[in-house]
Chains A and B, each alone.
Chain A
Amino acid sequence: MTRNEIEIISGVLLDEVALTLEEFAHACSVSSEWVSLHVEAGILSLPEIEPARWRFSSRDLWRARQLCALERDFDALPDLAALVIDLREEIISLRNRAS
Protein backbone atom coordinates (compact mmCIF):
# COMPACT_ATOMS: atom_id res chain seq x y z
CA MET A 1 0.00 0.00 0.00
CA THR A 2 1.40 3.40 -0.92
CA ARG A 3 1.50 6.21 1.53
CA ASN A 4 -1.41 8.07 -0.10
CA GLU A 5 -3.82 5.16 -0.02
CA ILE A 6 -6.24 5.12 2.87
CA GLU A 7 -6.96 1.74 4.32
CA ILE A 8 -10.63 1.29 5.03
CA ILE A 9 -11.44 -1.32 7.64
CA SER A 10 -14.70 -3.20 7.36
CA GLY A 11 -16.42 -4.74 10.32
CA VAL A 12 -19.33 -7.07 10.86
CA LEU A 13 -22.55 -6.17 12.63
CA LEU A 14 -22.78 -7.99 15.89
CA ASP A 15 -26.19 -9.76 15.94
CA GLU A 16 -25.74 -10.84 12.32
CA VAL A 17 -22.63 -12.63 13.58
CA ALA A 18 -23.11 -13.26 17.31
CA LEU A 19 -20.37 -13.92 19.88
CA THR A 20 -19.50 -17.29 21.40
CA LEU A 21 -19.05 -17.65 25.17
CA GLU A 22 -15.26 -17.24 24.94
CA GLU A 23 -15.45 -14.26 22.58
CA PHE A 24 -18.09 -12.63 24.74
CA ALA A 25 -16.10 -13.11 27.96
CA HIS A 26 -13.00 -11.66 26.27
CA ALA A 27 -14.95 -8.66 24.97
CA CYS A 28 -16.26 -7.97 28.50
CA SER A 29 -12.85 -8.59 30.14
CA VAL A 30 -14.42 -11.18 32.43
CA SER A 31 -14.01 -14.94 32.84
CA SER A 32 -16.24 -17.48 31.13
CA GLU A 33 -17.34 -18.53 34.63
CA TRP A 34 -18.61 -14.99 35.35
CA VAL A 35 -20.69 -15.13 32.16
CA SER A 36 -21.99 -18.64 32.92
CA LEU A 37 -23.07 -17.64 36.44
CA HIS A 38 -24.97 -14.63 35.09
CA VAL A 39 -26.66 -16.69 32.38
CA GLU A 40 -27.63 -19.41 34.85
CA ALA A 41 -29.05 -16.77 37.22
CA GLY A 42 -31.17 -15.40 34.35
CA ILE A 43 -29.39 -12.03 34.47
CA LEU A 44 -28.18 -12.44 30.91
CA SER A 45 -31.07 -14.09 29.15
CA LEU A 46 -30.32 -16.78 26.62
CA PRO A 47 -32.30 -19.81 25.40
CA GLU A 48 -31.87 -22.90 27.58
CA ILE A 49 -29.25 -24.67 25.53
CA GLU A 50 -25.76 -25.92 26.33
CA PRO A 51 -23.06 -23.24 26.74
CA ALA A 52 -21.21 -24.31 23.59
CA ARG A 53 -24.22 -23.10 21.58
CA TRP A 54 -24.73 -19.83 23.45
CA ARG A 55 -24.59 -16.79 21.18
CA PHE A 56 -24.43 -13.23 22.50
CA SER A 57 -25.81 -10.06 20.88
CA SER A 58 -24.98 -6.33 20.97
CA ARG A 59 -27.49 -5.85 23.74
CA ASP A 60 -25.95 -8.66 25.82
CA LEU A 61 -22.53 -7.04 25.43
CA TRP A 62 -23.84 -3.60 26.45
CA ARG A 63 -25.60 -5.10 29.48
CA ALA A 64 -22.72 -7.31 30.58
CA ARG A 65 -20.12 -4.53 30.49
CA GLN A 66 -22.35 -2.33 32.64
CA LEU A 67 -23.23 -5.15 35.02
CA CYS A 68 -19.55 -5.84 35.48
CA ALA A 69 -18.79 -2.17 36.27
CA LEU A 70 -21.68 -1.92 38.78
CA GLU A 71 -20.68 -5.09 40.57
CA ARG A 72 -17.05 -3.93 40.74
CA ASP A 73 -17.54 -0.27 41.68
CA PHE A 74 -20.51 -0.61 44.04
CA ASP A 75 -20.06 -4.19 45.24
CA ALA A 76 -23.56 -4.60 43.84
CA LEU A 77 -25.25 -7.99 44.07
CA PRO A 78 -25.73 -9.35 40.54
CA ASP A 79 -29.55 -9.20 40.78
CA LEU A 80 -29.43 -5.61 42.00
CA ALA A 81 -27.00 -4.63 39.24
CA ALA A 82 -29.36 -6.28 36.74
CA LEU A 83 -32.27 -4.24 38.09
CA VAL A 84 -30.24 -1.03 37.62
CA ILE A 85 -29.45 -2.02 34.02
CA ASP A 86 -33.14 -2.81 33.36
CA LEU A 87 -34.06 0.64 34.68
CA ARG A 88 -31.34 2.28 32.56
CA GLU A 89 -32.74 0.59 29.46
CA GLU A 90 -36.20 1.82 30.40
CA ILE A 91 -34.91 5.39 30.87
CA ILE A 92 -33.18 5.34 27.48
CA SER A 93 -36.36 4.04 25.83
CA LEU A 94 -38.60 6.62 27.53
CA ARG A 95 -36.22 9.49 26.71
CA ASN A 96 -36.13 8.34 23.12
CA ARG A 97 -39.92 8.25 23.00
CA ALA A 98 -40.21 11.71 24.58
CA SER A 99 -37.71 13.35 22.24
Chain B
Amino acid sequence: MEFKDYYRTLGVARTASADEIRKSYRALARKFHPDVSREADAEARMKEVNEAYTVLSDPEKRAAYDQIGQGYRPGQEFRPPPDWDAGFEFSGHGFSPGNASDFSDFFAEIFGRMGGARHGARSAHGGYASQGEDHHAKVVIDLEDAWNGATRQISLRVPRQDADGRVTLTTRTLNVRIPQGVKEGQMIRLAGQGTPGFGGGQAGDLYLEVHFQPQSRFRVVGRDLYLVLPVAPWEAALGTTIEVGLPAGNAVKVRIPEGAQSGRQLKVKGKGIPGKPPGDLYLEIRVVVPEAKSPHARKFYETMARELAFDPRAHSGA
Protein backbone atom coordinates (compact mmCIF):
# COMPACT_ATOMS: atom_id res chain seq x y z
CA MET B 1 0.00 0.00 0.00
CA GLU B 2 1.34 3.42 -0.97
CA PHE B 3 1.67 6.29 1.45
CA LYS B 4 -0.58 9.22 0.50
CA ASP B 5 0.58 12.76 1.12
CA TYR B 6 -2.68 14.55 1.87
CA TYR B 7 -0.92 17.90 2.26
CA ARG B 8 0.44 17.61 -1.27
CA THR B 9 -2.99 16.57 -2.57
CA LEU B 10 -4.50 19.77 -1.18
CA GLY B 11 -1.43 21.85 -2.09
CA VAL B 12 -0.86 23.15 1.43
CA ALA B 13 2.09 23.17 3.84
CA ARG B 14 2.19 20.76 6.77
CA THR B 15 1.82 23.81 9.01
CA ALA B 16 -1.31 25.06 7.20
CA SER B 17 -4.09 26.44 9.36
CA ALA B 18 -7.61 25.00 9.29
CA ASP B 19 -8.68 28.04 7.31
CA GLU B 20 -5.96 27.55 4.68
CA ILE B 21 -6.92 23.89 4.33
CA ARG B 22 -10.59 24.79 3.88
CA LYS B 23 -9.75 27.46 1.29
CA SER B 24 -7.56 25.11 -0.70
CA TYR B 25 -10.16 22.35 -0.57
CA ARG B 26 -12.88 24.65 -1.87
CA ALA B 27 -10.71 25.88 -4.74
CA LEU B 28 -9.83 22.30 -5.74
CA ALA B 29 -13.42 21.12 -5.35
CA ARG B 30 -14.45 23.78 -7.86
CA LYS B 31 -11.58 22.88 -10.18
CA PHE B 32 -12.25 19.14 -10.21
CA HIS B 33 -16.01 19.02 -9.79
CA PRO B 34 -17.14 16.57 -12.49
CA ASP B 35 -19.91 18.92 -13.67
CA VAL B 36 -17.57 21.75 -14.57
CA SER B 37 -14.06 20.33 -14.86
CA ARG B 38 -12.33 19.93 -18.22
CA GLU B 39 -9.70 17.63 -16.67
CA ALA B 40 -9.87 14.05 -17.97
CA ASP B 41 -9.43 12.50 -14.53
CA ALA B 42 -11.64 14.97 -12.67
CA GLU B 43 -13.68 12.34 -10.85
CA ALA B 44 -10.61 10.47 -9.55
CA ARG B 45 -8.93 13.73 -8.52
CA MET B 46 -12.11 14.83 -6.74
CA LYS B 47 -12.09 11.60 -4.71
CA GLU B 48 -8.46 12.19 -3.71
CA VAL B 49 -9.20 15.77 -2.71
CA ASN B 50 -12.26 14.68 -0.69
CA GLU B 51 -10.25 12.02 1.12
CA ALA B 52 -7.44 14.44 1.93
CA TYR B 53 -9.92 17.00 3.21
CA THR B 54 -11.74 14.41 5.32
CA VAL B 55 -8.46 13.78 7.15
CA LEU B 56 -6.93 17.24 7.33
CA SER B 57 -10.14 19.07 8.26
CA ASP B 58 -10.63 16.86 11.33
CA PRO B 59 -8.17 17.77 14.13
CA GLU B 60 -8.13 14.23 15.54
CA LYS B 61 -7.52 12.57 12.20
CA ARG B 62 -4.96 15.18 11.21
CA ALA B 63 -2.98 14.67 14.43
CA ALA B 64 -3.01 10.90 13.95
CA TYR B 65 -2.01 11.24 10.30
CA ASP B 66 0.82 13.64 11.15
CA GLN B 67 2.21 11.22 13.71
CA ILE B 68 2.05 8.16 11.52
CA GLY B 69 3.20 9.95 8.37
CA GLN B 70 6.49 11.23 9.78
CA GLY B 71 9.33 10.24 7.47
CA TYR B 72 7.14 8.86 4.69
CA ARG B 73 7.32 10.15 1.13
CA PRO B 74 4.37 10.06 -1.32
CA GLY B 75 4.14 6.71 -3.11
CA GLN B 76 6.45 5.00 -0.61
CA GLU B 77 5.35 1.56 0.60
CA PHE B 78 3.39 2.16 3.78
CA ARG B 79 3.04 -0.17 6.75
CA PRO B 80 1.62 1.28 9.96
CA PRO B 81 3.41 0.19 13.13
CA PRO B 82 1.35 -1.97 15.51
CA ASP B 83 -0.73 -0.03 18.03
CA TRP B 84 0.27 3.25 16.41
CA ASP B 85 -3.04 4.75 17.47
CA ALA B 86 -2.55 4.12 21.20
CA GLY B 87 -2.90 7.42 22.96
CA PHE B 88 -5.39 8.88 20.51
CA GLU B 89 -8.95 9.25 21.60
CA PHE B 90 -11.20 9.38 18.58
CA SER B 91 -14.69 10.76 18.90
CA GLY B 92 -16.03 8.20 16.50
CA HIS B 93 -16.29 10.22 13.32
CA GLY B 94 -14.58 7.55 11.29
CA PHE B 95 -15.48 7.02 7.71
CA SER B 96 -19.07 6.48 6.93
CA PRO B 97 -19.63 2.99 5.57
CA GLY B 98 -22.02 4.57 3.10
CA ASN B 99 -19.09 6.35 1.50
CA ALA B 100 -16.54 3.60 1.94
CA SER B 101 -16.12 3.06 -1.78
CA ASP B 102 -14.88 6.65 -2.14
CA PHE B 103 -11.89 6.11 0.13
CA SER B 104 -8.55 4.43 -0.50
CA ASP B 105 -7.12 1.36 1.21
CA PHE B 106 -4.54 3.67 2.77
CA PHE B 107 -7.33 5.66 4.43
CA ALA B 108 -9.09 2.50 5.62
CA GLU B 109 -5.84 1.13 7.04
CA ILE B 110 -5.24 4.22 9.14
CA PHE B 111 -8.72 5.26 10.11
CA GLY B 112 -10.49 1.92 10.07
CA ARG B 113 -10.21 1.69 13.83
CA MET B 114 -11.99 4.95 14.25
CA GLY B 115 -15.23 3.80 12.65
CA GLY B 116 -17.92 2.17 14.62
CA ALA B 117 -19.45 5.00 16.58
CA ARG B 118 -22.98 3.77 16.74
CA HIS B 119 -26.12 5.70 17.33
CA GLY B 120 -28.59 3.34 18.82
CA ALA B 121 -30.97 2.58 21.59
CA ARG B 122 -31.38 0.00 24.27
CA SER B 123 -33.23 -2.99 22.93
CA ALA B 124 -36.20 -4.64 24.60
CA HIS B 125 -33.78 -7.09 26.19
CA GLY B 126 -31.77 -4.34 27.80
CA GLY B 127 -28.77 -4.67 25.45
CA TYR B 128 -27.44 -1.97 23.16
CA ALA B 129 -28.91 -2.19 19.67
CA SER B 130 -28.46 -0.06 16.61
CA GLN B 131 -29.43 -0.16 12.96
CA GLY B 132 -26.63 -0.65 10.44
CA GLU B 133 -25.65 2.14 8.07
CA ASP B 134 -27.24 2.46 4.63
CA HIS B 135 -24.90 2.12 1.65
CA HIS B 136 -25.05 3.92 -1.69
CA ALA B 137 -23.60 2.79 -5.01
CA LYS B 138 -24.09 3.44 -8.72
CA VAL B 139 -24.88 0.80 -11.30
CA VAL B 140 -24.68 1.28 -15.07
CA ILE B 141 -26.98 -0.83 -17.25
CA ASP B 142 -27.84 -1.01 -20.93
CA LEU B 143 -31.00 0.77 -22.02
CA GLU B 144 -32.56 -2.52 -23.19
CA ASP B 145 -32.24 -3.87 -19.64
CA ALA B 146 -35.01 -1.46 -18.65
CA TRP B 147 -37.41 -3.44 -20.88
CA ASN B 148 -36.88 -6.89 -19.52
CA GLY B 149 -35.05 -6.31 -16.28
CA ALA B 150 -31.56 -7.72 -15.83
CA THR B 151 -29.25 -9.31 -13.33
CA ARG B 152 -26.01 -7.48 -12.70
CA GLN B 153 -23.01 -8.47 -10.66
CA ILE B 154 -21.97 -5.55 -8.50
CA SER B 155 -18.74 -5.31 -6.54
CA LEU B 156 -18.80 -3.00 -3.55
CA ARG B 157 -15.99 -1.99 -1.24
CA VAL B 158 -17.37 -2.28 2.23
CA PRO B 159 -15.86 -1.92 5.69
CA ARG B 160 -15.68 -5.09 7.77
CA GLN B 161 -14.87 -5.11 11.46
CA ASP B 162 -12.75 -7.96 12.84
CA ALA B 163 -12.73 -9.37 16.39
CA ASP B 164 -10.25 -6.68 17.52
CA GLY B 165 -12.53 -3.92 16.30
CA ARG B 166 -10.26 -3.16 13.37
CA VAL B 167 -12.04 -2.12 10.19
CA THR B 168 -10.73 -2.91 6.72
CA LEU B 169 -12.21 -2.44 3.28
CA THR B 170 -13.16 -5.69 1.60
CA THR B 171 -14.82 -6.38 -1.73
CA ARG B 172 -18.30 -7.79 -1.59
CA THR B 173 -19.94 -9.14 -4.73
CA LEU B 174 -23.68 -9.14 -5.12
CA ASN B 175 -25.92 -10.43 -7.90
CA VAL B 176 -28.70 -7.92 -8.12
CA ARG B 177 -31.89 -8.15 -10.13
CA ILE B 178 -32.61 -4.84 -11.82
CA PRO B 179 -36.39 -4.49 -12.07
CA GLN B 180 -38.15 -3.87 -15.38
CA GLY B 181 -39.16 -0.27 -16.00
CA VAL B 182 -36.26 1.37 -14.17
CA LYS B 183 -35.56 5.00 -15.09
CA GLU B 184 -32.33 6.97 -15.45
CA GLY B 185 -31.28 8.21 -12.00
CA GLN B 186 -33.83 6.09 -10.17
CA MET B 187 -32.83 4.33 -6.96
CA ILE B 188 -33.28 0.66 -6.22
CA ARG B 189 -33.57 -0.15 -2.56
CA LEU B 190 -32.14 -3.49 -1.43
CA ALA B 191 -33.43 -4.01 2.08
CA GLY B 192 -30.94 -5.36 4.60
CA GLN B 193 -27.91 -5.21 2.25
CA GLY B 194 -26.15 -2.35 4.04
CA THR B 195 -24.02 -2.63 7.17
CA PRO B 196 -25.18 -5.36 9.58
CA GLY B 197 -26.99 -4.09 12.67
CA PHE B 198 -25.46 -4.18 16.13
CA GLY B 199 -26.85 -5.95 19.17
CA GLY B 200 -29.81 -7.34 17.29
CA GLY B 201 -30.49 -4.09 15.42
CA GLN B 202 -31.66 -4.18 11.80
CA ALA B 203 -29.14 -4.21 8.96
CA GLY B 204 -28.96 -1.06 6.85
CA ASP B 205 -30.16 -0.94 3.25
CA LEU B 206 -28.26 -0.66 -0.01
CA TYR B 207 -29.39 2.02 -2.46
CA LEU B 208 -28.34 1.59 -6.08
CA GLU B 209 -28.54 4.64 -8.33
CA VAL B 210 -29.24 3.43 -11.87
CA HIS B 211 -27.68 4.97 -14.95
CA PHE B 212 -27.87 3.89 -18.59
CA GLN B 213 -24.82 3.30 -20.76
CA PRO B 214 -24.50 6.29 -23.08
CA GLN B 215 -25.77 5.27 -26.49
CA SER B 216 -26.11 7.28 -29.65
CA ARG B 217 -29.59 6.63 -31.03
CA PHE B 218 -31.96 7.42 -28.19
CA ARG B 219 -32.19 10.21 -25.69
CA VAL B 220 -33.93 9.17 -22.48
CA VAL B 221 -35.98 11.43 -20.22
CA GLY B 222 -37.64 9.50 -17.41
CA ARG B 223 -39.30 6.62 -19.25
CA ASP B 224 -39.73 8.64 -22.48
CA LEU B 225 -37.49 7.98 -25.47
CA TYR B 226 -36.51 10.58 -28.05
CA LEU B 227 -35.25 9.63 -31.50
CA VAL B 228 -34.41 11.60 -34.61
CA LEU B 229 -36.09 9.83 -37.53
CA PRO B 230 -34.54 10.53 -40.97
CA VAL B 231 -37.08 10.42 -43.83
CA ALA B 232 -36.81 10.92 -47.59
CA PRO B 233 -38.52 14.00 -49.08
CA TRP B 234 -41.13 11.83 -50.85
CA GLU B 235 -41.87 9.95 -47.58
CA ALA B 236 -42.45 13.29 -45.85
CA ALA B 237 -44.52 14.72 -48.70
CA LEU B 238 -46.66 11.70 -49.47
CA GLY B 239 -46.77 10.06 -46.05
CA THR B 240 -45.68 6.52 -45.34
CA THR B 241 -45.32 3.87 -42.67
CA ILE B 242 -41.84 3.31 -41.19
CA GLU B 243 -40.65 0.54 -38.92
CA VAL B 244 -38.68 1.95 -36.00
CA GLY B 245 -36.39 -0.40 -34.04
CA LEU B 246 -36.56 -0.08 -30.24
CA PRO B 247 -33.69 -0.69 -27.79
CA ALA B 248 -35.08 -4.05 -26.65
CA GLY B 249 -34.81 -5.42 -30.21
CA ASN B 250 -38.51 -5.15 -30.98
CA ALA B 251 -39.93 -2.63 -33.44
CA VAL B 252 -42.92 -0.38 -33.82
CA LYS B 253 -44.58 0.70 -37.09
CA VAL B 254 -45.19 4.43 -37.23
CA ARG B 255 -47.33 6.26 -39.73
CA ILE B 256 -45.71 9.42 -41.07
CA PRO B 257 -48.51 11.81 -42.00
CA GLU B 258 -48.67 13.37 -45.47
CA GLY B 259 -46.89 16.71 -45.60
CA ALA B 260 -44.65 16.09 -42.56
CA GLN B 261 -41.93 18.73 -42.15
CA SER B 262 -38.45 18.54 -40.68
CA GLY B 263 -38.52 19.24 -36.93
CA ARG B 264 -42.07 17.99 -36.44
CA GLN B 265 -42.42 15.65 -33.51
CA LEU B 266 -44.57 12.53 -33.50
CA LYS B 267 -45.62 10.96 -30.22
CA VAL B 268 -46.13 7.21 -30.05
CA LYS B 269 -47.95 6.61 -26.80
CA GLY B 270 -46.76 3.88 -24.46
CA LYS B 271 -43.79 2.80 -26.61
CA GLY B 272 -41.08 4.19 -24.32
CA ILE B 273 -39.62 2.27 -21.40
CA PRO B 274 -42.26 -0.06 -19.94
CA GLY B 275 -43.52 0.66 -16.44
CA LYS B 276 -46.47 2.01 -14.54
CA PRO B 277 -47.15 4.17 -16.48
CA PRO B 278 -45.03 3.28 -19.52
CA GLY B 279 -43.07 6.02 -21.23
CA ASP B 280 -43.80 7.43 -24.70
CA LEU B 281 -41.68 7.40 -27.85
CA TYR B 282 -41.06 10.79 -29.46
CA LEU B 283 -39.86 10.85 -33.06
CA GLU B 284 -38.42 14.03 -34.52
CA ILE B 285 -38.81 14.02 -38.29
CA ARG B 286 -35.68 15.00 -40.16
CA VAL B 287 -36.08 15.24 -43.92
CA VAL B 288 -32.86 14.15 -45.62
CA VAL B 289 -32.37 15.37 -49.16
CA PRO B 290 -30.64 13.05 -51.68
CA GLU B 291 -27.64 14.59 -53.41
CA ALA B 292 -27.96 15.43 -57.12
CA LYS B 293 -24.91 13.43 -58.12
CA SER B 294 -26.09 11.79 -61.31
CA PRO B 295 -27.46 13.58 -64.42
CA HIS B 296 -30.69 11.66 -63.84
CA ALA B 297 -31.03 13.01 -60.29
CA ARG B 298 -30.23 16.53 -61.42
CA LYS B 299 -32.97 16.29 -63.99
CA PHE B 300 -35.47 15.30 -61.30
CA TYR B 301 -34.57 18.35 -59.22
CA GLU B 302 -34.73 20.66 -62.24
CA THR B 303 -38.17 19.33 -63.07
CA MET B 304 -39.32 19.89 -59.49
CA ALA B 305 -37.91 23.42 -59.45
CA ARG B 306 -39.76 24.21 -62.65
CA GLU B 307 -43.07 22.60 -61.87
CA LEU B 308 -43.63 22.93 -58.12
CA ALA B 309 -43.35 26.74 -57.76
CA PHE B 310 -42.16 26.25 -54.21
CA ASP B 311 -40.62 29.00 -52.07
CA PRO B 312 -39.30 27.55 -48.79
CA ARG B 313 -38.67 31.10 -47.48
CA ALA B 314 -42.11 32.49 -48.25
CA HIS B 315 -42.97 32.87 -44.57
CA SER B 316 -39.52 33.42 -43.10
CA GLY B 317 -38.96 36.96 -44.36
CA ALA B 318 -35.55 35.95 -45.74
Interface size class of B (residues with CB under 8 A): 35 or more
Taking a contact as CB atoms under 8 Å apart, the answer to whether B175 and A88 are in contact is no
Measured CB to CB, the closest approach of chain B to A69, in angstroms, equals 9
Give the interface SS of chain B, mostly helix, strand, loop or mixed: mixed
Measured CB to CB, the closest approach of chain A to B105, in angstroms, equals 22
Measured CB to CB, the closest approach of chain B to A82, in angstroms, equals 16
Which residue of chain A is the closest to B177 with respect to CB atoms? A10
B-side contacts of A27, CB under 8 Å:
134, 136, 205, 207
Taking a contact as CB atoms under 8 Å apart, the answer to whether A11 and B25 are in contact is no
Residues 43 to 92 of chain A near chain B (Cβ within 8 Å): 58-59, 61-62, 65, 73-74, 88, 91
Stretch at the interface among B183-191, B249-257, B303-311: B183-191
Interface size class of A (residues with CB under 8 A): 20 to 34
Taking a contact as CB atoms under 8 Å apart, the answer to whether B133 and A9 are in contact is no
Measured CB to CB, the closest approach of chain A to B183, in angstroms, equals 8
A17-B209 Cα distance, complex, nearest whole Å: 15
Judge whether B262 is part of the interface by a CB distance below 8 angstroms: no
Measured CB to CB, the closest approach of chain A to B173, in angstroms, equals 10
B residues adjacent to A (C-beta < 8 A):
25-26, 29, 35, 53, 96, 98, 131, 133-134, 136, 151, 174-177, 179, 181-183, 185-191, 193, 204-209, 214, 219-221, 276
Given contacts A29-B134, A96-B219, 6 further A-B contacts (CB under 8 A): A6-B175, A8-B177, A11-B206, A13-B187, A13-B188, A58-B183
